[in-house]
C-alpha cells in the first residue's frame, strides 16, 4: 500500500475552507488543465454521498466513482474509490483552525495499483511525483479562491 500526504495553510477561516470543499463546483476547479472532468453524478457532500465522473486525459477516459464517509461539516471528509483505475484509493481531507483567520488543510491518501502490465499507466499518472504536482496545484487554487 502506498501513501501520500500534502499539507498547506490558507489565510481563511475554518468555515470558509469547509464551505469551499463542500461546493458542488469545487471538483472542476481543482482539476488541472489539460485534464477535462465530465461529471455524471455529484451528490451534495454528506455521509454516503456519491461522486461519479470521468477524467479525460487526452483521448483516454478514466471513469471514477467515489463514496464519501466520515463527513464532518467543519473538519473534513474521506472519499473512497468504489470504482476506478486503482485497486485501492482512500483520500482524507482534514481542516484544522490554526487561528481565527488561518486554516491548515491536510490531504492523506492511501492507494494501491492494480497488478499487471496493462495497468502500468496508473503507476505514472498516480505516482508520488504526479500527486505532488496535482496537490500543489490544488493548494494554489484553494488559496486563490479563498484569499482573493
Please report, for the domain that includes residue 139, its CATH number.
Answer: 3.30.530.20
- Report residues of the chain scoring pLDDT below 70: none
pLDDT of residue 148: 77
pLDDT of residue 58: 87
In degrees, rounded to 5, the angle at the alpha carbon of residue 29 between the alpha carbons of residues 25 and 33 is: 140
The four Cα atoms 147, 50, 70, 29 give a dihedral, to 10 degrees, of -10
- Model confidence pLDDT, tens digit, residues 91-130: 999 999 999 999 999 999 999 999 999 899 999 889 999 9
Domain that holds residue 49: 2-147
Cross-strand bridge partners of residue 107: 6, 93
The domain total for the chain is 1
Amino acid at each position: 500500500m502506498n501513501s501520500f500526504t500534502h499539507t498547506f495553510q490558507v489565510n481563511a477561516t475554518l468555515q470558509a475552507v469547509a464551505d469551499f470543499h463542500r461546493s458542488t463546483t469545487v471538483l472542476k476547479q481543482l482539476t488541472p488543465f489539460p485534464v477535462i472532468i465530465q461529471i455524471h453524478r455529484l451528490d451534495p457532500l454528506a455521509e454516503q454521498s456519491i461522486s461519479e465522473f470521468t477524467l479525460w486525459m487526452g483521448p483516454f477516459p478514466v471513469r471514477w466513482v467515489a463514496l464519501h464517509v466520515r463527513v464532518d461539516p467543519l473538519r473534513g471528509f474521506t472519499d473512497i474509490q468504489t470504482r476506478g483505475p486503482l485497486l485501492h484509493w482512500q483520500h482524507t481531507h482534514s481542516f484544522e483552525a490554526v487561528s481565527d483567520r488561518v486554516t491548515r488543510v491536510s490531504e492523506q491518501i492511501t492507494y494501491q495499483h492494480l497488478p499487471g502490465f496493462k495497468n502500468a499507466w496508473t503507476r505514472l499518472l498516480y505516482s508520488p511525483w504526479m500527486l505532488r504536482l496535482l496537490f500543489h496545484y490544488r493548494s494554489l487554487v484553494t488559496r486563490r479562491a479563498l484569499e482573493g
